[in-house]
């Protein structure tokens, strides 16, 4: 039986019913939906909009429904379309007329927006915790590798020596920014749409601030049309997820490179690696690759939401029911990725010697050699030229810069003195950065 059947003269076509339904996806909002209804019913009772005893009956029954859902005793029905009407129908089945009064001064339009914001606030907190755990794992690892030197790259070519702590610290900055970004998104999520009605508010003497306080919102959405048609908060959240995934994905790309035989900088723990069904020697960095791949999915979620919203006239349009799959997927995917990635980081082995060995070749102290001449008074551009010639010479001789004798150094510039060896010491340089 449809809650909106009054105006209709025939039953809906069953495939239209199935097509229209969102219960498959939005049933996970049951807790938030009930929470919203509890606050709404309490307010209706307090304001004398419904009898206080009925508000109480609604409260008790909604709690029971919540318990029954959690105990797996409730079957949601497609013909009841969505989580809102499934719960309302259950309520009416259980307490009759009082249940039918719950939807006074409310529309599913402000209801769904409220549910989504409650849900999103919760997920933001979970994501921030996971990001903090990752940042802590990185801090710990960095602490152990303040003296571990490795090549720093530009263009994926060895550039200048750095420490592993500096490299890991760069990612930590990104994850800390992600935590802040989600915090900013939280502020804009933290406003209550309920009370906006379908779009134009309501004529009942409702108390939106009371409901906001009950539900833990810091304020209310002021414009009722905006309250029901805004999905910026979801788009912003998904954008935050996409950015965090991009950071994870870059890091994963490096772990994949670093675990190759060519780099051999790390070894990913067996528990987080997979083998090949044909090549017995293989140990593949599947977790990192999957995170890199799932980044594409989350970008897709962001684009789905942006595209769903781009042509919609105010206010609610059914297109907006399609907001849930991408919104849920973005949060779920990021949470899964953060959890597994943190474990990969915590368990991987750092091959310090290979990192340090890689610093030995590649003339990564060439810039420091140029800076040495600058300090001796030569203009930087001339220094660059001198050192370039020295590098070319060394390549021909198959040696490193610091293998050259002082006489060889001086054949390129009389400004070189004994202290050049200290100035181009890669270890000293890396630990200064």
Given the DSSP bridges, would you call strands 219-220 and 191-192 parallel, antiparallel or unpaired?
Answer: parallel
Q: Among residue numbers 4 through 23, which ones bind ligand ARG (CB under 6 A)?
A: 22
Q: Within 13 Å and on the Cβ side, how many CA atoms surround 265?
A: 18
Instruction: Look at phi and psi of residue 156 and say left if phi exceeds 0, alpha if psi is from -120 to 50, else beta.
Output: left
The least CB distance from residue 47 to ligand ARG, in Å, is 24
Least separation in angstroms between residue 246's CB and ligand ARG is 29
Looking at the Cβ atoms of 316 and 372, the one nearer to ligand ARG is 316
Residues 107-136 that bind ligand ARG (CB under 6 A): 108-109, 112
Distances (CA, A) of 147 to 158, 247, 332, 399: 18, 25, 37, 25
40 is catalytic: no
- How far is 226 from 196, CA to CA, in rounded Å? 9
Confirm whether 155 is a catalytic residue: yes
- Total binding residues toward ligand ARG, as defined by CB under 6 A: 10
Kindly tell me which of 169 and 201 has the beta carbon lying closer to ligand ARG: 201
Of 323 and 356, nearer to ligand ARG (C-beta) is 323
Which residue in the list 14, 218, 260, 276 is annotated as catalytic?
276
Query: Per-residue x/- mask for ligand ARG, residues 358 to 397, rule CB under 6 A?
Result: ----------------------------------------
The residues in 21-50 that bind ligand ARG, with binding defined as CB under 6 A, are 22, 26
Residue closer to ligand ARG (CB basis): 119 or 186: 119
Distance CA 121, CA 136 (A): 23
Residue 182 Cβ vs ligand ARG, minimum distance, rounded to whole Å: 24
Least Å distance between CB 65 and ligand ARG? 18
- State yes or no: residue 86 binds ligand ARG (CB under 6 A): no
How far is the C-alpha of 191 from the C-alpha of 221, rounded, in Å? 6
Residues 63-82 that bind ligand ARG (CB under 6 A): 82
Half-sphere exposure of 244 (CA within 13 A, CB side): 32
CB 245 within 8 A of CB 294: yes
Q: How far apart are CA 234 and CA 306, in angstroms?
A: 10
Applying CB under 6 A, among 163, 172, 259, 321 the residue interacting with ligand ARG is 321
Q: Which two tokens mark 1?
A: 């039986």
- Piece in contact with ligand ARG (CB under 6 A), picked from 61-69, 104-112, 293-301, 306-314: 104-112
Nearer to ligand ARG, 112 or 344 (CB): 112
- Identify which of 29, 6, 4 has the alpha carbon closest to the alpha carbon of residue 17: 4
State the Cα–Cα distance between residues 105 and 196, nearest whole angstrom. Answer: 9
Contact range with ligand ARG by CB under 6 A, out of 257-265, 271-279, 313-321, 400-408: 313-321
199 with 109: CB under 8 angstroms? yes
Phi-psi region of 381 (alpha: psi -120 to 50; beta: other; left: phi over 0): alpha
Min dist. Cβ of residue 24 to ligand ARG (A): 11
Catalytic residue among 9, 15, 155, 277: 155
Output the six-digit token pair for 69.
């859902």
Which residues share a beta bridge with 344?
none
Least gap, CB of 82 to ligand ARG (angstroms): 4
Task: Give the shortest CB-199-to-ligand ARG separation in angstroms.
Answer: 9
Contacts of 422 (CB under 8 A, 6+ apart): 428
Residues lying near ligand ARG in the complex (CB under 6 A): 22, 26, 82, 108-109, 112, 316, 318, 320-321
| Residues annotated catalytic, as ranges | 155, 276
């Amino acid at each position: 039986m449809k809650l909106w059947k009054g105006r209709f003269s025939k039953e809906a076509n069953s495939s239209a019913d199935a097509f229209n339904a969102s219960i498959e996806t939005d049933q996970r909002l049951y807790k938030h939906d009930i929470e919203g209804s509890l606050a709404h019913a309490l307010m209706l009772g307090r304001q004398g909009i419904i009898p206080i005893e009925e508000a109480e009956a609604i409260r008790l029954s909604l709690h029971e429904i919540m318990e029954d859902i959690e105990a797996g005793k409730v079957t949601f029905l497609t013909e009841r379309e969505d989580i809102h009407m499934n719960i309302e129908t259950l309520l009416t089945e259980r307490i009759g007329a009082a249940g039918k009064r719950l939807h006074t001064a409310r529309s599913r339009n402000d209801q769904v927006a409220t549910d989504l914001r409650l849900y999103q606030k919760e997920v933001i907190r979970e994501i921030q915790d996971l990001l903090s755990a990752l940042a802590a794992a990185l801090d710990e690892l960095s602490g152990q590798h303040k003296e571990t030197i490795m090549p720093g790259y530009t263009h994926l070519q060895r550039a200048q020596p750095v420490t592993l702590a500096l490299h890991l610290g760069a990612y930590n900055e990104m994850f800390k920014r992600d935590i802040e970004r989600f915090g900013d998104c939280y502020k804009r999520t933290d406003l209550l749409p309920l009370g906006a009605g379908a779009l134009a508010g309501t004529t009942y003497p409702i108390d939106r601030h009371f409901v906001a306080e009950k539900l833990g919102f810091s304020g209310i959405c002021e414009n009722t049309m905006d309250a029901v048609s805004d999905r910026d908060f979801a788009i912003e959240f998904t954008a935050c997820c996409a950015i965090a995934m991009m950071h994870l994905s870059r890091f994963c790309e490096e772990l994949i490179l670093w675990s190759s035989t060519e780099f051999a900088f790390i070894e990913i723990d067996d528990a987080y690696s997979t083998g090949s069904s044909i090549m017995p020697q293989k140990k593949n960095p599947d977790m990192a690759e999957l995170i890199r791949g799932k980044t594409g999915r989350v970008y897709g979620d962001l684009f789905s939401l942006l595209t769903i919203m781009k042509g919609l006239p105010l206010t609610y349009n059914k297109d907006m029911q399609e907001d849930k799959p991408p919104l849920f997927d973005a949060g779920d995917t990021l949470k899964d990725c953060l959890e597994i990635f943190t474990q990969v980081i915590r368990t991987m082995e750092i091959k310090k010697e290979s990192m340090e060995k890689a610093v030995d070749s590649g003339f990564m102290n060439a810039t420091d050699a140029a800076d040495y001449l600058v300090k001796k008074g030569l203009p930087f551009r001339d220094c660059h030229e001198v050192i370039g010639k020295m590098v070319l010479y060394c390549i021909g001789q198959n040696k490193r810069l610091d293998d050259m004798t002082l006489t060889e150094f001086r054949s390129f510039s009389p400004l070189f003195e004994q202290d050049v060896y200290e100035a181009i010491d890669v270890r000293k340089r890396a630990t200064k950065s």
